[in-house]
Amino acid sequence: MFKMLKNDESEGGSATMLKVELRSLEQEDVVIQEQGLPQVLGVDLTPELNPAPLEIFCQLSKCDAVVSAKGWIQGKMLLSCDRCLKEFESGYKSFFEVAYRPADEAKEQDEEINPDETVETVFFEGDILDIADQIRQTVLLSVPMRALCREDCRGLCGVCGCDLNVDSCQCSGPATDDRWSKLKNWKPQ
């Protein structure tokens, strides 16, 4: 199933792993299975977001002019906790599905593209499909809206700013309320 894909433009060849020649899709599906740091795979992501290797699986199949790509990515991203601001690694696995259409076909047959399609459509030009941008998008969509280093993170003290997961401070210590001190020695008669 897996095909090695040649690329003539680059010297190192490292950024070609996520590219597929349309020709190779004529006979059968192509499966891309790669693992590596995003920058090595040619995915444009900041190292802060993805310090760990990314695992990519993608199956491409061609039907008429449309190439459908379906797969998943798995990796770890570096997040900063909303409460204590500490950086922590968070694992994720995300699925994606996209339909690649030739850009010139889009101009000619604009109306034929069903707007109700749930699968995202991406237009491409040329004879080589590059899924790197789709991978990048999928990683970016995997960044959670809310990031907590752990569910019960106690955050930072609003007064002195110390990390309440590690330290305790006077300001956040158990508050003594004078109004109740009289009741301390009270006993029912």
Site residues for Zn ion per CB under 5 A:
81, 83-84, 149, 153, 157, 159-160, 169, 171-172
Residue 169 CB, shortest distance to Zn ion, in Å, is 3
Q: Which is nearer to Zn ion, 48 or 167 (CB)?
A: 167
Q: Which is nearer to Zn ion, 60 or 84 (CB)?
A: 84
Going from the C-alpha of 173 to that of each of 153, 159, 169, 181, the distances in angstroms are 17, 12, 6, 17
Residue 81 CB, shortest distance to Zn ion, in Å, is 3
User: Terminus-to-terminus CA distance in the chain, angstroms?
Assistant: 87
Residue 153 CB, shortest distance to Zn ion, in Å, is 3
C-beta separation of 80 from 147 below 8 A: yes
CA angle, residues 21, 27, 28, in degrees to nearest 5: 85
Q: What DSSP assignment string belongs to 9-51?
A: S-SS-GGGTTEEEGGGGTTS-EEEEEEE-HHHHT----TTT--
Q: Which is nearer to Zn ion, 84 or 129 (CB)?
A: 84
Residue 90 CB, shortest distance to Zn ion, in Å, is 12
Q: Which is nearer to Zn ion, 19 or 83 (CB)?
A: 83
Extract the tokens encoding 77.
């991203």
